[in-house]
Structure 1
Amino acid sequence: MTRRERLLATIRSESVDRPSVLFYELNGLDENPHDSDLFNIYTDPSWHPLIELTREKTDRIVIRALCFRGLKYDLIDNLAQLDDHHINTKAADMWSRPLM
């Protein structure tokens, strides 16, 4: 089975050839061994084989945020009400910015 076939079959509760594999916090796409940031652990050569293995062999659904031009979305607003009392969301104003 391909990755796609395996993941779709898993979601549909169908039989698969083997369990899906995913390394926690590694997807083979976001790790940048060329980033010169002092705190980037992936620059160490010992990570390169694992990053390649992750990129080639894991079964993953990579989740990305969608950006819409001009749309403002307040992540806190829907959670900021409780029984007609408003929680002070001034500290959360950083979330009310345009996404593009």
Structure 2
Amino acid sequence: MNYPDEFKKLAFDVLTADILGIRSLEGIRDHILKGLKPQQRQRLELYLMETLDGHMSDKEINALWDKTGTDVMFHRPAAARNFLLKVQDWLAESDKPL
């Protein structure tokens, strides 16, 4: 399965957050979201909806994440899915008007 550039950007933003020592979920969220333009957010949100709709196993989602080429790895079976669901929530929340 191919993924959009925004998915790879997400993976590298997570890696960058780790390198910068950002450890809190709020800090990681802010780091990821600040680098996305509205169109990129929309494409990533759509891609995550399609990817996380239940047709892919946790193993397939981990393999998809591993293809991004970052050193960020998820060691528990559902960890990548859970993280991507969290990112999906962040994107949905950031779309809401204040």
Shorter chain as denominator, the TM-score bin is under 0.3
Larger RCO (alpha carbons 8 Å, 6+ apart):
2
Radius of gyration: which is bigger? 1
Structure that is richer in helix per residue? 2
